[in-house]
Chain A
């Protein structure tokens, strides 16, 4: 199920070459993304940060600043789409992750539901990697899985995932785009539901530049009631099943492994099976008994079990016997008895004859995911779901035995309800002058809002109500950049949601806003060092200080008495320092040259210009810092700033 090992971080890696850097990314998740997971695990890997988050003192500060810097570079190009999450009453999540709430200033957080009720349940990652040094190719990495962006999903659950990393063609092509099947439209629908129609077009464009991997078919669901006509054009949900089951004569079989089974009636199951040429009695569902430790995690309504049994579906038992490996069925050859993770994987194995296809998806075996068909043939789907169907010869559960006593299967009388969300969608952004809040709420309900930044900043009082009575919007003047607003809390009756505020100020203004944990006094110097480091300068570190200078600041006093704090090079420190600074300029210039020769993307060009401007300022500051030891020390940084100004001007004029 996972080809890269079985650790909780198995999914947190990339197949892109080391020299390529992330240009943009889309992550979809059901649960609201856990900021701590993002900051401490996911972003360090995908942003290729050079520091660990668990450092102390200056190392920790460098980590935060490096992350902040990379996020600012990719401002708005990292997008996370989730369902609208209501705050838990105890609020532990916020308390734990709140320290990292500042990441939402740069990461665009979208929720679905702007046009009506919708659940975002797909787990899709699209990672756009810039040109690698090795081959000059950009890449698109696609991950389809069952994994939410929460620590629980990574650390407490087992997931199934499919991953590919594709080289991008320089130009998009409609033909290539069409070959991706439902995936482009899935992205468009997702964007529309998030109230930001064109936001995901950049990813659609990437699909148009990539060749779909052979043998891979995407299966997607989008919320709504879809007519036959629509389904012919865009076969959402079950409408797509006939394209993924193996072709051939005879009934197709399906084996299902999902931790959640919805409430099905017999007709619904028959219809579902009919879509791929199967039949209920060819369903083999992997399940657990009441004693299985996952019993509280996997949900199967009593009624559905009854229906399945009546339809002669097979229930395969995933055995569990404490302390007895022989009597326990493991998910994976590397799984061990002490592993208390439960399966959150959603996998379907379709077989016809000897042909087998495997669907790795976010979709549980439920009508909400696959759709419920009415008599007119319309399909009503509640969730956004996405799966990738691939050729796969093996299915690890072939040897499971049927339940002797199906009544021992772990079931629940009723499925937990999602409740009816009063606030269905919301977004907030600050442009430096005002915070604009938009949300969708039940028409006849009163909504309260508060602007926050750790503490309370302002109440939102003047709401504008849209024509349908549901869409609400408010504008709160806010210009205080020393206390930038972090989130909006919206309350409707007993329901409260937190909406991160995206920072839409110009980049120059954004630059000065730091993560709250960072020491403001030291931040500027550390940021400068990190910037130098990014362009091949010395690795910024706690003790980096003035190396390669002498401890007493003299230019070249070297003697036995200088001790361990003395210079470590017989080359002249002021010269060494100058070369070090100018090496940074060279690296910037090399990248600029590569941008021109390889015709890499506009983003790289923008980043180079942006970094060039920052570097010039950083070198000017560095000259002042170096100059504290003597006038000669400042020459190197001065020359670097001077030359970079010249080079940047030239670069921008090309």
Chain B
């Protein structure tokens, strides 16, 4: 291991971080305005990180740090500032950023570039320039540059010698023996400092957390961390016959010891511990969606299928199908698919299994003819309709593709279609957009891209949407003006329709994949762009269904940048049905404050991550002064309801336990045990809250 060399920074070089007001002011012209309260905390965090990494102000020099802020608090922003300062100050240094995937990589580039203008104004001594950001492979990392690459880049064996290695979403690198994990071990020797951005510490597997601590030189924390981790295991797996108070005290004691040991290497803020910032994130409000409880015939369907699958499994031991598949409880599409495949498989079963399965399938067929639309889908569709008629966007999360497909198709079939105003024909729109849409400042656009984008703005759905926001009586001649003075979707929206379109265009052409999509659309047709095909207000970002009639409802490429960018604008599909692929590291908050957990994943952290897509700085909720609404609809009488019940409780204790809330199998959780756990957590709450705050950034 290399000795901890000085980074050669001086605290004066980040002095500007003590004046966030100026920076916030500067950011308003960057297209990404910052919020003062949040920026103050982010700047404090950045100062703390730099002080610790550099060994300033009498601090012991650290080889590395873990930044484990809650989702939505802007870890990327903090790390980007640190990256710029380390790279640019004084002698200049090389910084590398490892992002988990292409989307995140592009987001990093965007984040880094968004700081160029404010830094040029507030920290002129740094001399930052956008061309210092290097996306993808580079020959040799020059001093002053920041390279952004994917995790896989590190795993390929390149030596990533640098002064600061930033590893984003490090917890995604599962397993000790993986290529990325091994690469990180190797890179540790070549990186002078390591900054790891990760999820809430104890939501990560213990081994992974220990590995990260090792990377930042925090081996000393291994023992108390292991000890608290065991206390958490004990909470979820140990005997529930014990006195909750005793267990609570032990838990709090172990948490305190772990946090004390971690505090040198970990900085973390919980979103609920930042009352000054709540407004900028957006307040939360309950969103109840009443689902008609399962009727006996629906339950019988589920039970019969469960039975048929169990009998089949018992007979051959080959079937890997889940017998009480969670998908069966939230939709019929997968249920029917399994039913059909089982029917084809029956000849391979021995008697009497075959007879039993055939009997069940026959009964199921009869019952399926009786039951109609899945009640949860029907209830959610009603709720979604009421939201979008109020000019709101909604994102719905599913755990499975089949569920997302079914939900998307149903929503499309029932949601009201939008029709554009006849008085404003397409050519009028084109003329208006040509007027208001400015060319890209950096010259990165082309006529073809711009034309395509304008054509998309003139498609039926976008025209219908846009015209619905315009003042009554907008005419052909006043259209351009109206676009520049009217906000999209809500009078208190963050920008005018024209500014929103401008921003969207900017984002699209900055993204390599979105540029490719626009280019493709310019050559082959607009259908590839979300919302361009027909009047559907719904888009499914999941594996497309095989039904040709549903082809236009789904994203057909693996690059969701374009969809995300459009969803973060007032235009395009109002309803996004997604799987958990979009649950991490993606912003969906700029024009959406409604999230429906249509189908939960049993992982608590996954649910927390989903919620984090909307509860972020500069959210639509904050801009419009309306609350963020999370809905957990449940199909009463089925395991879906149980899952929701447990999840809601566990989410509440997630931050309190520093993420140490375990995943669960809904059928294995005993009600009395869960009650006991909640009692333990409730008893330990005050202590845990105090303990958790010790990891916050401070003025060293």
List chain A positions with a Cβ less than 8 A from chain B: 555-556, 558, 560, 562, 564, 566-572, 574-575, 578-579, 582, 586, 589, 630-632, 635-636, 639, 642-643, 646-647, 650-651
Q: A566-B671, A570-B669, A574-B637 given as contacts; is B307 within 8 A of A646 (CB)?
A: no
Which single residue of chain B is at the shortest CB-CB distance from A647?
B352
- The answer to whether A650 touches B352 (Cβ under 8 A) is yes
Scan B51-93; emit 1 where CB is below 8 A from any A CB, else 0.
0000000000000000000000000000000000000000000
Which single residue of chain B is at the shortest CB-CB distance from A548?
B671
Q: How far is the CB of A265 from chain B (nearest CB, A)?
A: 72
Q: A570-B667, A651-B352 are in contact. List 17 more A-B contacts (CB 8 A).
A: A556-B638, A558-B642, A564-B672, A568-B672, A570-B645, A570-B666, A571-B669, A574-B303, A574-B637, A631-B296, A632-B300, A632-B637, A635-B299, A639-B304, A642-B359, A643-B359, A650-B351
Report B-chain residues with C-beta under 8 Å of the C-beta of A562: 671
Which single residue of chain A is at the shortest CB-CB distance from B351?
A650
Q: How far is the CB of A622 from chain B (nearest CB, A)?
A: 15
- The answer to whether B639 touches A571 (Cβ under 8 A) is yes
- The answer to whether B671 touches A568 (Cβ under 8 A) is yes
The answer for the CA separation of A636 and B310 in the assembled complex, in Å, is 14
- The answer to whether A636 touches B296 (Cβ under 8 A) is no
Q: How far is the CB of A580 from chain B (nearest CB, A)?
A: 12
Report A-chain residues with C-beta under 8 Å of the C-beta of B548: none
Which single residue of chain B is at the shortest CB-CB distance from A562?
B671
- The answer to whether B303 touches A635 (Cβ under 8 A) is yes
The answer for the CA separation of A578 and B639 in the assembled complex, in Å, is 14
A-B contacts, 29 of them at CB < 8 A, read A555-B293, A556-B636, A556-B637, A558-B645, A560-B675, A562-B671, A566-B671, A568-B672, A570-B669, A570-B670, A571-B639, A571-B669, A572-B638, A572-B639, A572-B642, A574-B303, A578-B306, A582-B307, A632-B296, A635-B296, A635-B300, A636-B303, A639-B300, A639-B304, A643-B359, A646-B356, A646-B359, A647-B356, A650-B352
Q: A556-B636, A632-B294 given as contacts; is B641 within 8 A of A572 (CB)?
A: yes
The answer for the CA separation of A579 and B294 in the assembled complex, in Å, is 18
B371: Cβ under 8 A from any A Cβ = no
- The answer to whether B356 touches A556 (Cβ under 8 A) is no
Which single residue of chain B is at the shortest CB-CB distance from A643?
B356
Q: A570-B674, A578-B303, A642-B359 given as contacts; is B641 within 8 A of A556 (CB)?
A: yes
Q: Which of B299, B352, B674 meets A632, CB within 8 Å?
A: B299
Which single residue of chain A is at the shortest CB-CB distance from B642?
A570
Which single residue of chain A is at the shortest CB-CB distance from B298?
A632
Which single residue of chain A is at the shortest CB-CB distance from B675?
A560
Q: Which of B307, B314, B645, B668 meets A643, CB within 8 Å?
A: B307
B522: Cβ under 8 A from any A Cβ = no
Report B-chain residues with C-beta under 8 Å of the C-beta of A567: 671
- The answer to whether B636 touches A569 (Cβ under 8 A) is no
Scan B491-517; emit 1 where CB is below 8 A from any A CB, else 0.
000000000000000000000000000
Cβ < 8 Å to A, chain B residues 640-695:
641-642, 645-646, 666-672, 674-675, 678
Count residues of B near A (Cβ-Cβ below 8 Å).
Answer: 37
Report A-chain residues with C-beta under 8 Å of the C-beta of B668: 571
The answer for the CA separation of A642 and B394 in the assembled complex, in Å, is 45
Cβ < 8 Å to A, chain B residues 342-356:
351-352, 355-356
Which single residue of chain B is at the shortest CB-CB distance from A571?
B667
Which single residue of chain B is at the shortest CB-CB distance from A563?
B675
Report A-chain residues with C-beta under 8 Å of the C-beta of B639: 571-572, 575
Report B-chain residues with C-beta under 8 Å of the C-beta of A642: 359
Q: How far is the CB of B545 from chain A (nearest CB, A)?
A: 29
Instruction: Tell me the interface secondary structure of chain B in the complex.
Output: helix
Which single residue of chain A is at the shortest CB-CB distance from B645?
A558
- The answer to whether B324 touches A575 (Cβ under 8 A) is yes
The answer for the CA separation of A574 and B297 in the assembled complex, in Å, is 13
Report B-chain residues with C-beta under 8 Å of the C-beta of A636: 303
- The answer to whether A571 touches B359 (Cβ under 8 A) is no
Q: Which of A558, A572, A586, A647 meets B637, CB within 8 Å?
A: A572
Q: How far is the CB of A637 from chain B (nearest CB, A)?
A: 11
The answer for the CA separation of A484 and B294 in the assembled complex, in Å, is 49
Q: A568-B670, A570-B674 given as contacts; is B355 within 8 A of A575 (CB)?
A: no
- The answer to whether B671 touches A558 (Cβ under 8 A) is yes
Report A-chain residues with C-beta under 8 Å of the C-beta of B310: 582
B302: Cβ under 8 A from any A Cβ = yes
Report A-chain residues with C-beta under 8 Å of the C-beta of B641: 556, 572
Report A-chain residues with C-beta under 8 Å of the C-beta of B642: 556, 558, 570-572
Report B-chain residues with C-beta under 8 Å of the C-beta of A646: 352, 355-356, 359
The answer for the CA separation of A631 and B294 in the assembled complex, in Å, is 11
The answer for the CA separation of A596 and B148 in the assembled complex, in Å, is 68
| Interface pairs A-B: 7 shortest CB-CB | A650-B352, A570-B669, A631-B296, A571-B667, A555-B637, A570-B642, A632-B296
The answer for the CA separation of A556 and B635 in the assembled complex, in Å, is 10
Candidate in A575, A630, A631, A647 with the most chain B CB atoms within 10 angstroms: A575
- The answer to whether A586 touches B314 (Cβ under 8 A) is yes
Report B-chain residues with C-beta under 8 Å of the C-beta of A556: 636-638, 641-642
The answer for the CA separation of A635 and B666 in the assembled complex, in Å, is 21
Q: How far is the CB of B298 from chain A (nearest CB, A)?
A: 9
Scan B606-649; emit 1 where CB is below 8 A from any A CB, else 0.
00000000000000000000000000000011110110011000
Report B-chain residues with C-beta under 8 Å of the C-beta of A647: 352, 356
Scan B571-601; emit 1 where CB is below 8 A from any A CB, else 0.
0000000000000000000000000000000
The answer for the CA separation of A505 and B399 in the assembled complex, in Å, is 61
Q: A568-B670, A570-B669, A575-B302 given as contacts; is B636 within 8 A of A555 (CB)?
A: yes
Candidate in A556, A586, A643, A651 with the most chain B CB atoms within 10 angstroms: A556
Q: How far is the CB of A445 from chain B (nearest CB, A)?
A: 62
The answer for the CA separation of A23 and B152 in the assembled complex, in Å, is 68
Q: Which of B294, B307, B314, B671 meets A639, CB within 8 Å?
A: B307
Cβ < 8 Å to A, chain B residues 289-320:
293-296, 299-300, 302-304, 306-307, 310, 314
Candidate in B307, B324, B352 with the most chain A CB atoms within 10 angstroms: B352
The answer for the CA separation of A631 and B299 in the assembled complex, in Å, is 10
Q: How far is the CB of B326 from chain A (nearest CB, A)?
A: 12
Report A-chain residues with C-beta under 8 Å of the C-beta of B300: 632, 635, 639
Q: How far is the CB of A524 from chain B (nearest CB, A)?
A: 25
Q: Which of A569, A575, A631 meets B670, CB within 8 Å?
A: A569
The answer for the CA separation of A427 and B304 in the assembled complex, in Å, is 53
The answer for the CA separation of A650 and B359 in the assembled complex, in Å, is 13
The answer for the CA separation of A413 and B227 in the assembled complex, in Å, is 86
The answer for the CA separation of A651 and B352 in the assembled complex, in Å, is 8
Q: How far is the CB of B293 from chain A (nearest CB, A)?
A: 7
Q: How far is the CB of B519 from chain A (nearest CB, A)?
A: 51
Q: How far is the CB of B177 from chain A (nearest CB, A)?
A: 35
Candidate in A571, A582, A647, A651 with the most chain B CB atoms within 10 angstroms: A571
Q: How far is the CB of B460 from chain A (nearest CB, A)?
A: 44
The answer for the CA separation of A58 and B120 in the assembled complex, in Å, is 85
The answer for the CA separation of A571 and B641 in the assembled complex, in Å, is 9
Q: How far is the CB of B356 from chain A (nearest CB, A)?
A: 6
The answer for the CA separation of A647 and B294 in the assembled complex, in Å, is 29
Q: How far is the CB of B138 from chain A (nearest CB, A)?
A: 52
Which single residue of chain A is at the shortest CB-CB distance from B637?
A555
Q: How far is the CB of A570 from chain B (nearest CB, A)?
A: 4
Scan B109-143; emit 1 where CB is below 8 A from any A CB, else 0.
00000000000000000000000000000000000
The answer for the CA separation of A555 and B645 in the assembled complex, in Å, is 14
The answer for the CA separation of A586 and B295 in the assembled complex, in Å, is 27
The answer for the CA separation of A318 and B671 in the assembled complex, in Å, is 67
- The answer to whether B356 touches A569 (Cβ under 8 A) is no
- The answer to whether B669 touches A575 (Cβ under 8 A) is no
Q: How far is the CB of A302 from chain B (nearest CB, A)?
A: 71
Q: How far is the CB of A563 from chain B (nearest CB, A)?
A: 10
Which single residue of chain B is at the shortest CB-CB distance from A650?
B352
Candidate in A558, A560, A564, A651 with the most chain B CB atoms within 10 angstroms: A558
The answer for the CA separation of A487 and B308 in the assembled complex, in Å, is 51
Q: Which of B355, B637, B667 meets A650, CB within 8 Å?
A: B355
Report A-chain residues with C-beta under 8 Å of the C-beta of B669: 569-571
